[in-house]
């Protein structure tokens, strides 16, 4: 497995290829990276990066298909000129990473992700303080809870068919609602902040099965719906209603993907997930107006990296 050895690397700007030594990381294929402690992630840097540089996080579900997500999003990263990062969270046989929880505090998924972002910024010089997020299934659970916990780090987010949600309800205990979230995790969970983040939920039209990976607790069924389609609709409606109650200008969208069930590959190949996700994410800052990828680009380049 290739691993990066860090040297003296510039931060905060994209240098032209002629001015620095480039790495084989750029513009070929995604590379599997290793953090201390056994944590891994996939990183793809396109041949040319749109300015200002943008970073998209893609988060896997219980299938841990981080590599597949990067591979299928790679053509879109090339088109939009953005960096792709896909964390591969440790397989602990549980859904704790989706809830930002861990028996070992240093292995909490949100803290691991921050170490990944810090490393990518050091390697590339591209700012990672605020990123765009995508998550499918369990990854969608992680992403919306991460956005609630760290609203200042999320520019916009797309959730692909999460099984269940944390509601913006302070009367309901976390992870079903917000009560005690701050005391348990020590992070923001402030509706005044996270309700300002543009968020979309996309679910396949055939994603109505109550399969083994779906949380079928009676309390979830009663409060959130019987399947992923209903649960996505109800959660977006709840987020809109809470934003309206607080007089917060918001952008929450729900979209059904045609000819797709609960499969990332099916949603991509048959449901048009990538096109819908990128359209939403990169028009989010223009308040719903169609976006055009920047034509101002610079060669993607890394500082002195050596592979061992």
Structural domains of the chain, with CATH: 4-307 (3.40.50.1820)
- For position 75, what pLDDT does the model report? 96
- d(CA 61, CA 137) in angstroms, rounded, equals 5
User: Which of 152, 113, 135 has its CA nearest to residue 60?
Assistant: 135
How far does CA 210 lie from the centroid of its chain?
25
- For position 34, what pLDDT does the model report? 86
More confident residue, 6 or 17: 6
- For position 3, what pLDDT does the model report? 39
> By the 8 A CB rule, do 5 and 305 touch?
yes
Q: Span 132-144, mean pLDDT?
A: 97
The pLDDT-based confidence of 37 (bands split at 50, 70, 90) is confident
Rounded to 5 degrees, φ, ψ at 249 are: -65, 125
- d(CA 122, CA 299) in angstroms, rounded, equals 18
pLDDT tens-digit map of 277-292: 999 999 855 344 433 4
DSSP 258: T
The pLDDT-based confidence of 170 (bands split at 50, 70, 90) is very high
| Structural Rg of the chain based on CA atoms | 19
pLDDT tens-digit map of 257-267: 999 999 999 99
- How many CA atoms does the CB half-sphere of 273 hold within 13 Å? 28
The residue written with tokens 């990123």 in the block is 131
pLDDT tops 70 at residue 300:
no
Would you list the DSSP string of 196-217? TS-EEEEEETT-----TTS---
Q: Which residues of 223-255 are buried (b: 16+ CB within 10 A; e: fewer)?
A: bbbebbbebbebbbebbbebbeeeeeeebbbbb
* Terminal-to-terminal C-alpha distance of the chain: 9
- d(CA 133, CA 57) in angstroms, rounded, equals 5
User: Which of 119, 125, 128, 129 has its CA nearest to residue 19?
Assistant: 125
The pLDDT-based confidence of 308 (bands split at 50, 70, 90) is very low
More confident residue, 254 or 285: 254
- Residue 233: C-alpha distances to residues 40, 221, 227, 240 (Å): 33, 14, 10, 11
pLDDT tops 80 at residue 304:
no
More confident residue, 151 or 39: 151
pLDDT tops 90 at residue 91:
no
pLDDT tens-digit map of 39-85: 899 999 999 999 889 999 999 999 999 999 999 999 999 999 999 99
Region of 218 (left: φ > 0; alpha: ψ -120 to 50; beta: rest) is: alpha
């Amino acid at each position: 497995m290739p691993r990066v050895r860090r040297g003296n690397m510039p931060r905060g700007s994209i240098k032209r290829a002629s001015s620095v030594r480039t790495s084989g990381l750029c513009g070929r294929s995604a590379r599997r990276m290793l953090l201390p402690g056994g944590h891994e992630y996939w990183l793809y840097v396109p041949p040319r990066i749109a300015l200002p540089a943008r970073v998209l996080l893609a988060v896997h579900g219980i299938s841990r298909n981080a590599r597949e997500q990067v591979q299928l999003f790679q053509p879109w990263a090339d088109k939009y000129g953005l960096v792709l990062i896909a964390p591969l969270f440790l397989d602990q046989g549980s859904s704790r990473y989706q809830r930002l929880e861990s028996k070992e505090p240093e292995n909490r998924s949100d803290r691991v992700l921050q170490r990944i972002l810090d490393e990518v910024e050091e390697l590339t010089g591209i700012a990672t303080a605020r990123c765009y997020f995508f998550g499918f299934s369990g990854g969608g659970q992680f992403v919306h809870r991460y956005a609630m916990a760290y609203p200042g780090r999320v520019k916009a987010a797309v959730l692909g068919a999460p099984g269940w949600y944390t509601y913006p309800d302070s009367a309901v205990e976390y992870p079903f609602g917000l009560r005690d979230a701050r005391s348990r995790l020590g992070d923001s969970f402030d509706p005044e902040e996270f309700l300002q983040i543009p968020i979309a939920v996309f679910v396949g039209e055939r994603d109505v099965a109550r399969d083994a990976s779906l949380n079928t607790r009676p309390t979830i069924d009663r409060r959130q719906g019987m399947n992923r389609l209903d649960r996505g609709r109800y959660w977006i409606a709840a987020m809109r209603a809470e934003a309206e109650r607080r007089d917060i200008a918001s952008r929450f969208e729900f979209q059904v993907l045609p000819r797709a069930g609960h499969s990332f590959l099916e949603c991509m190949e048959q449901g048009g997930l990538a096109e819908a996700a990128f359209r939403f994410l990169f028009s989010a800052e223009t308040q719903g107006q169609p976006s055009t990828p920047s034509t101002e680009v610079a060669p993607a380049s890394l500082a002195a990296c050596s592979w061992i």
